Structure 1
Amino acid sequence: MKLNLKGEGKKHIQEIIKLRRHFHQYPELSGEEFETSKKVQEKLREYNIPFTTGYAKTGILGVIEGGRPGKTVALRADMDALPITEETNLPYASKKKGTMHACGHDAHVAMLLGTARLLNETKDKLSGKVLLVFQPSEEITPIGGAGPMLEDQVFAEHTPDVIFAQHVWPDLPVGQVGVLPGPMMGASDRFIVEIEGSGGHASMPHQTVDAIIVANSVIGNLQTIVSRNVNPVDSAVLTIGRIEGGYRYNVVADKVTFEGTIRTFKNKTKQMVKERFQSIVQGVTDSMGAKAKIEYYDGYPATVNDEQWANHIKRTSQQLLGPNSTPVVEPCLGGEDFSRFLLKYPGAYFWLGTAIPGVIKQNPLHDPMFMLNESAIQIGMELMAQIAIDALNHFQVEVEQSELQSVLGKVANFQ
């Protein structure tokens, strides 16, 4: 009989919510998740789940061994917070000014601990093993934490046959799950451009090369990449997020710095936009007598779901939450470090609905007012556990069918 964990999270939900609020009150930035890591280790010891640490400094790998041999499923949660000052006034709001869990990673960690507890309680019935990946530094593109964890051989002893991750999603109501085969999140490149002209008095602009005018022309021309170079059926975004330059009202600026991001799904589109970006910046500045220094950082690759495992998430969600729990969604050009795991191992990434009812416009991720509906936490922990169980069962059925075919083949040959 198939193991079904629907409703099993209820007995642990108060503990998991308490954990989530603890992590929320004490957020830690990328690469600084030392106390978060210690708390996770403390809970894994309490649950009698063996683990190893030190991956990318604060990363953790927990291992739940099933009662029977089988394949290996990995589940990942990111741990880091953002350099944002919280403005929610919640009773458990961040106690660290300038640091906030504005992307829901506090809930991710808590839900994976809840998932771990559920799976460990039923491990004798599992065929295979489940890996619990607590990842640091998801927010610090382009370095991230997934790549360093892989470099630190996090899967040297236990290699996943499939890997999954979830992310809280305020655009979906509680009880709904967003998942797609193929691209789910975008590639997230970053750039910094310094324009160098020559300054002077505002009343004598003919003696200068105005870096503000040059930067303005560069930025305007950069916007033509998406409108005139990208195939309209593809997706790309080029955004300037910060610009700085000048000294005072009557001085022509000699330097301007601007920075921003480029988001794409297809690698071919990414490379084309990158090349056009370099060409336009250099071409415009040269034509106006200025110089440009470009720092371009290739960020996270696109998060591309394996079709088989995206459909697996959809089936499990519908069985656990109902046939209408997986609405049609569109991919997002936000970046996600989980993409680097998916480059190495098959798997899928999905969104967990956390919208607050009665609110017309939900505060988005990375907003100082971001809040999530905690009633989604039990769903998240049960869903992750069920996805792992169903994946192990899938592998077990494959093995049994292969063995059966082998036996039938031998019988046929004998006859």
Structure 2
Amino acid sequence: MVATFQEIIKSIENDIIGFRRYLHQNPELSTQEWNTSRFIQDQLKEYGIPFKAGYANTGVLGIIEGQQTGKTVALRADIDALPITEQTDHDFRSQTDGVMHACGHDAHTAMLLGAGYALNQRKSELAGTVLLVFQPAEENSPTGGAAQMMEDGVFDEYEPDVIYGQHVWPSLPVGEVGIRDQEMMGASDRFTITVKGKGGHASMPQDGNDAIIIANQIITSLQTIVSRNVNPIESAVVTVGSIHGGYAHNVIADKVTLEGTVRTYQPSVKEKVKQRFHSIVENVTEAFEGEVDITYLDGYPATINTPKWAEVARNSTQKILGPDSTPTVDPVLAGEDFSRFLHRYPGAFIWLGTQIDSKEDQMGLHNPGFMLNEKALSSGSAMLAQVASDTLVHLQEGETSE
């Protein structure tokens, strides 16, 4: 009797946890993932999985060809870490000062290696090809590594008919998975506003032009975009997250720099917010007789699932974790570079519940105290393998029916 994906994964569960812990101890920032890339390649060699490397410099593509002809499915994991100093008491905490896997990419990589092993063990049953996409620089917004991998030809020889990505999700308990039919995550634009006034003595404001006053009016006015220009049933966020300006208590500031982000789901809303953003910043500055420089960076587009493949992923998940494992979840406006793959290929993005046992101590993604529950890793690997296998079957059935 052929072993199930769960049974195969169970036999290497310690490997998967070990991979995750090694990567957690040895994190590397976006575009610098050289050791991580070599580690992935070494594990693929050990598992007997052919691969190609060098996409976006450190990206790796594992290739599992089934012994039956068919379509192609891709599974993606991101591999980079964040510039954060870890504040956990793990005995496998980061050994690199100022760098931490605070977004779970170490787990993503480990789980994809495990899924690759399981799929390779059952490749005689696969009707088609499964691609293992290990992507660098996901955290390097707005550039990212997905577009660069595709530009470098990662899918030139094997082009996916469907692609899936998975992300650990600390607000969901182990055993639950979030899969939406459409919007999962938002478009993530960034901006920098440099306001220029005229400096002077604080006691003689008539001789200067206070850049802080201008910046204050800009911040206040930007908040009207969401409240007065965006349809209330649609979603948008405009946040100014950083303000730098001024010299001393008795000096009128001649320059203030504001940095922030714009988050949306729908392209039409994104363009409306962007247009109003520029209009408000420019007109407010002009009204106060100042000058302004605006840098607006279009970031990752919204991550929007293909309903058909979201449903396949949901059914595959329930095979692994049971009928109650896919609760209804709300989308979030955090950005994700996987969206670039979904803009070119149909597929779905999945949230894997990884909440730690002491829920009250759970820190969120990108927090220096972030932790995840390693009990979820084996099921995450099995789920990836199952969804790839099931998708190939659906693709084959669709081709036959046509």
Bin for the TM-score computed over the shorter chain = over 0.9
Listed as ranges, the matches of 1:6-405 within 5 Å are 6-360=6-360, 362-402=362-402
Structure 2 gaps of 5+ residues are none
| CA RMSD across the alignment | 1.2
Partners of 1:11 and 1:129 in 2: how far apart?
Answer: 23
Q: What's the offset of the Cα at 1:3?
A: 7.7
Q: What's the offset of the Cα at 1:71?
A: 0.7
Asked whether the 8 Å contact 1:61–1:133 carries over to 2, the reply is: yes
Q: Secondary structure at the match of 2:343?
A: helix
Amino acid at match of 2:324: N
Partners of 2:319 and 2:15 in 1: how far apart?
Answer: 26
Asked whether the 8 Å contact 2:146–2:340 carries over to 1, the reply is: yes
Partners of 1:195 and 1:348 in 2: how far apart?
Answer: 41
Aligned pairs, how many? 402
Q: What's the offset of the Cα at 1:83?
A: 0.5
Partners of 2:256 and 2:396 in 1: how far apart?
Answer: 60
Partners of 1:391 and 1:359 in 2: how far apart?
Answer: 34
Asked whether the 8 Å contact 2:320–2:379 carries over to 1, the reply is: no
Amino acid at match of 1:43: Q
Partners of 1:274 and 1:11 in 2: how far apart?
Answer: 51
Asked whether the 8 Å contact 1:29–1:80 carries over to 2, the reply is: yes
Match of 1:405 in 2: none
Asked whether the 8 Å contact 1:3–1:389 carries over to 2, the reply is: no
Q: What's the offset of the Cα at 1:5?
A: 1.6
Amino acid at match of 2:299: G
Q: Deviations over 1:46-96 (max 9, x none)?
A: 111111111101001110010111110000000000011100121101111
Q: What's the offset of the Cα at 1:2?
A: 9.6
Amino acid at match of 2:40: V
Q: What's the offset of the Cα at 1:398?
A: 2.5
Asked whether the 8 Å contact 2:76–2:135 carries over to 1, the reply is: yes
Asked whether the 8 Å contact 1:4–1:386 carries over to 2, the reply is: no
Q: What's the offset of the Cα at 1:359?
A: 1.9
Q: Deviations over 1:297-347 (max 9, x none)?
A: 000000110000011111111122111100010001000000000111110
Partners of 1:195 and 1:114 in 2: how far apart?
Answer: 51
Range that drifts further, 27-36 or 3-12: 3-12
Asked whether the 8 Å contact 1:197–1:210 carries over to 2, the reply is: yes
Partners of 1:366 and 1:119 in 2: how far apart?
Answer: 31
Amino acid at match of 2:202: A
| Shift in alpha-carbon separation, 1:391–1:171, aligned structure 2, 3 A | same
Q: Secondary structure at the match of 1:157?
A: coil
Q: What's the offset of the Cα at 1:6?
A: 2.6
Asked whether the 8 Å contact 2:84–2:99 carries over to 1, the reply is: yes
Asked whether the 8 Å contact 1:175–1:376 carries over to 2, the reply is: yes
Asked whether the 8 Å contact 1:245–1:253 carries over to 2, the reply is: yes
Q: What's the offset of the Cα at 1:396?
A: 2.2
Partners of 2:158 and 2:38 in 1: how far apart?
Answer: 22
Partners of 1:130 and 1:143 in 2: how far apart?
Answer: 26
Asked whether the 8 Å contact 2:162–2:345 carries over to 1, the reply is: yes
Amino acid at match of 1:38: R
Q: Deviations over 1:172-206 (max 9, x none)?
A: 00010001011111000000000000000111111
Q: Secondary structure at the match of 2:216?
A: helix
Q: What's the offset of the Cα at 1:8?
A: 2.6
Partners of 1:318 and 1:125 in 2: how far apart?
Answer: 21
Match of 1:406 in 2: none
Structure 1 gaps of 5+ residues are 403-415
Partners of 1:206 and 1:367 in 2: how far apart?
Answer: 45
What TM-score results when the alignment is normalised by the length of structure 1?
0.95
Highest CA radius of gyration, 1 or 2?
1
Q: Deviations over 1:345-374 (max 9, x none)?
A: 110001000001232252100000000000
Asked whether the 8 Å contact 2:192–2:259 carries over to 1, the reply is: yes
Q: Secondary structure at the match of 1:72?
A: strand
Amino acid at match of 1:62: G
Q: Deviations over 1:107-147 (max 9, x none)?
A: 00000000111111111111111000000000011110000
Partners of 2:219 and 2:106 in 1: how far apart?
Answer: 37
Asked whether the 8 Å contact 1:179–1:350 carries over to 2, the reply is: yes
Question: After TM superposition, where is structure 1 displaced by more than 3 Å over at least 4 residues in a row?
Answer: 1-4, 399-402
Percent of residue pairs identical: 56
Amino acid at match of 1:155: F
Amino acid at match of 1:95: Q
Partners of 1:361 and 1:331 in 2: how far apart?
Answer: 23
Asked whether the 8 Å contact 1:138–1:146 carries over to 2, the reply is: yes
